[in-house]
Structures are given as C-alpha cells and as structure tokens.
Amino acid sequence: MVTLKQKLAEKINQERPRIRKLIKENCDTVIDTVTVEKLFGGMRGLKCLVTDISYLDPDEGIRYRGYTLPDVFKKLPKPPGAEMPYVEGLYYLLLTGDIPNEEETNELIDEFRKRRIVPRYVYEVIDNFPSLSHPMTIFSTAILSMHRESFFDRKFHGGVSKMDYWDYTYEDSLNLLAKLPEIAAYIYAKLYREGNRIQQNPDMDFGSNFAHMLGKAKPYDEVSRMYFILHADHESGNVSAHTGHLVSSALADIYLSISSMVNGLAGPLHGLANQTVLEWIMQLHEKMDGKLPSQAEMKQFVWDMLNAGQVIPGYGHAVLRKTDPRYTMQREFALKHMKTDVLFKFVDLLYKVVPPILKEHGKAKNPWPNVDAHSGVIQMHYGVTEHDFYTVMFGVGRALGVCANIIWDRALGYSIERPKSLTTAMIEDIIKKK
Ligand code: CMX
C-alpha cells in the first residue's frame, strides 16, 4: 500500500510545475479589483487567496475537495454500523483530494493513535490557569506551549531545503492533531469535572475517543465525528483559517499557527457565535419558563434584539446567501434523533421566524442561519451543557482544514503575506484624481 505521505509527495510533485507555469505565464492577469468599499469593508469578497482544499459557493455552501457535504458524509469510510464517518478519513481527503479506502483510513487512524500522548508540561500549563479563564484561551495556550516540540522548527534552524518544508510540517500537523482531542477533553475535565479526567482509549478512533473522554455515551461519538467534520474547513478567507495561513506564511510552525487560528476563532462574530446562540436561546427558554413561545412571541424577541442594535447570533454570513448546509445537516440529524427536544423546537421556530424578519429589517445580506445556529442545542441534548466549551470543539475540527492548508502552502512555496496599506488621505487623493 502507498502510505499517505508517499501519496502526498506524488501529488505535490505533480502540482509544483503546474503552479510555477501558472505564475510564470500569467503573472499580470487581473483576477479582481480593489474598490473603496472592499478596502473599508474587511476585504469582503476580494479574490486574493488560493486554496484547493475547499471552496465556498454562496448558494450551495462548502465543498471539500470538490465534494458537497452530503457526498463527504456518504463516501468516507465509517466505523462498523456507524452513521458518521471517521474524522481521520476526512483528513486524508483534505490532504490528497482522494476518498480513502478502509486500509488507507486505518493507516491514518494508526498514525494518529501513535502520536496521541500529550507532554506532561501541557497538563501543567492547563492546571496553572487562573480560574474563570475562557476555555479558548486555555486551548490556545496549551497548543502554543508545544512550540518546543516542532520538528519543522528544529529542522529549519538546522538548515534544510525549501523543497522539504512540507515534510516536517506534515509531521508536526499529525503530531498536533492527534493530541487535540486529549487536550480539549482535559480542559473540559479541569473546568467542569473538578479535574476528574477519563483516560483515552487507544482502541478508539478520533471522534469516539473524544466522546469517551468527555464521558458521553453513544450516540455522542456520532455527534463528535459529525461536529469535527462539519467544522473542518470553510475556504481561506474566514478569520480562523486566514489567521492560521497568515501566521504560517512567515514560516511559523504548526503550533504557533494553530494557536493563532484558535485566537481568531474565539471572536463572537466568528466561532464564538455557537456559544452566544446557545446563551441567547437559554435566556428565551428561561424567560418563557421552559415553554415554547408562540410565533408572535418569538417574533417580538427577535425584533427587540434588532431594535436594541444587536445582531441575531447564528444568522447571516459574509459569503453564504442561503441556509448553510452545515446547518441543514445538523437539522437533519436533530430531526432524526432529537425531534422532541425542547431547545431544538426553539431552534426550529427561530428558523421559521428569523429569515423573514432579517429580510424586512433590510440590513443583513444573508438572512439565513449558519452552522453556529444549530450546533449548541445538539451538544446540550447529549449533556455537554457548558456553552463556553463549544468553540473549543469547533477549533479541534477547524485545525484539520488549516493544517492541511498549511502543508500545501509549504509544499507549493506560497509567499509570506504582505499586502500594502494606504492612509485615508492617500485614498481621498486617488478618488480626487479619478
Ligand atoms: N443580525 C442582525 N444584523 C445583521 C446580522 C444578523 N445576524 N448579520 C448581518 N447583520 C448586519 C451587519 O451587522 C451589518 O450592519 P451594519 O451595516 O450596521 O454594520 C449589515 O447587516 C450588513 O452585514 P452583512 O454584509 O450581511 O454581513 P457581514 O459580512 O458584515 O458579517 C457576520 C457577517 C457573520 C459577521 C454577520 O452576519 C453576523 O454578525 N452574524 C451574527 C454572528 C454569527 O452568527 N457569526 C457566525 C458566522 C459563522 C462563523 O464564522 O462561525
């Protein structure tokens, strides 16, 4: 059998001349133009990044390596009798563009297993955090503390060929990804279970092992696999993916880059929205004494928020213009497994009520729900009731996509990022001269 690393090496050797030729023969071809609106509007929609790992179509949603999410979930190998595929198989797909067979998936499961042991000092870093620290801060720091483990960093300072950068980055990425479920589960035990951790089970896959360490019974293993796969990648321009790419473009190793990615994810307009959504729904739930509001009452809640100048968490998106397929997949899961759950009924009602209100309100370009509008209620249903932990799980998933991107960035020799800034007066000057 060809190993994943050998396969990746073959693919990289095929891609390198393609990219060199593309740049050499087309260096002046215009892809997009920068308008004043884009300059001041967070570069929204500006086509200025390259990735082949995933693509986000505004109407269709995300495709991983050309596959829609339903295809990914259908085609990737699954544990015997399971509904949701192996997370390891997804990583294989993101890296190579190929759906792995059973044997290839098992090879990667084994690789992850061999690299799971977390250095002792990481537990000490976590143990020494002041109380009331947010789990995302602890997660980011735990990852950062492992910078000293970087194989890439050691090799780089020893002097290596640029052609081999990807190889050491690949090793770092497997070493880090394999440890993330254990680190996240330890933070969970530390913050919410008085430090009573459950040891990992070496016979379990990435998702099942995480569910086991959280102390959650089946079918939470299915939820874990679904959650990590759904959050893995969303092309390169979102804050977490872009931050990871930006930091790594200066040849910072995986630990520095993924820690930065986690920090980007921790903003409430991005990954932290899943926590905010749940807190908001819980407030409504309390206000209603656990009863489901009527449509009219729900409409009033939504309008009250908008009138107070707040955003409706879990709704809207910078790129998407339809319901996020990551939302739809979670909705289908909920309809199958937890249809009578009271919080799901809140989410279901919001889905009916919010889009027409956001349309009438007239500001949000996308009135439809995103991934974060649904994820929290599924976690609540299976007993993960600590809302501020949800973004950590998002981070475990997102690290898969960002690591795959960073390996390919290194393999194809993408440059250090260095866009140019102007002063406001210079922009006014440019406008005057037009
Ligand atoms: N509720 C109310 N107003 C909203 C809104 C929402 N859900 N979504 C967008 N708007 C408003 C914006 O605040 C903006 O108002 P101003 O003109 O006053 O600044 C206006 O509509 C236009 O915004 P937009 O172009 O539609 O959206 P952006 O690309 O600027 O922002 C996003 C995208 C996701 C930050 C925004 O929709 C939002 O804040 N949503 C709520 C938070 C959320 O769910 N974030 C998670 C996104 C998914 C993820 O990354 O994890």
Q: Are residues 203 and 347 in the same domain?
A: no
Q: Are residues 245 and 343 in the same domain?
A: no
pTM over 0.95: yes
**Per-residue pLDDT tens digits for 147-172:** 999 999 999 999 999 999 999 999 99
Would you say residue 7 lies in a domain? yes
CA distances from 126 to 3, 130, 174, 211 (A): 35, 9, 22, 20
User: Is 270 among the residues known to form the active site?
Assistant: yes
**Per-residue pLDDT tens digits for 22-37:** 999 999 999 999 999 9
Q: Are residues 132 and 222 in the same domain?
A: yes
Our count of domains for the chain comes to 2
Mean pLDDT, rounded, for 208-225: 97
What is the pLDDT at residue 131? Answer: 87
User: Is 387 among the residues known to form the active site?
Assistant: no
Q: Which of 333, 407, 418 is nearest to 176 (CA)?
A: 407
**The domain that contains 277 carries what CATH number?**
1.10.230.10
Would you say residue 297 lies in a domain? yes
**Per-residue tokens: 139:** 């997660």
Where does the pLDDT of residue 200 fall: very low under 50, low under 70, confident under 90, or very high at 90 and above? Answer: very high
Q: Are residues 434 and 346 in the same domain?
A: no
Domain span including residue 306:
273-381
Q: Which of 199, 219, 195 is nearest to 209 (CA)?
A: 199
User: Is 317 among the residues known to form the active site?
Assistant: yes
What is the pLDDT at residue 106? Answer: 97
**The domain that contains 433 carries what CATH number?**
1.10.580.10
Q: Are residues 1 and 140 in the same domain?
A: yes
271 close to ligand 1 (CB < 6 Angstrom): yes
Q: Are residues 425 and 363 in the same domain?
A: no
Q: Are residues 96 and 142 in the same domain?
A: yes
Q: Are residues 173 and 99 in the same domain?
A: yes
Least confident of 200-204, 227-231, 287-291: 287-291
Q: Are residues 358 and 373 in the same domain?
A: yes
Amino acid in position 317: H
Q: Whose C-alpha lies nearest to ligand 1, atom 32?
A: 317
Span from the CA of 317 to the centroid of ligand 1 (angstroms): 6
- 315 - beta bridge partners? 369
Model confidence at 1: pLDDT above 90: no
Q: Are residues 53 and 159 in the same domain?
A: yes
Q: Are residues 405 and 283 in the same domain?
A: no
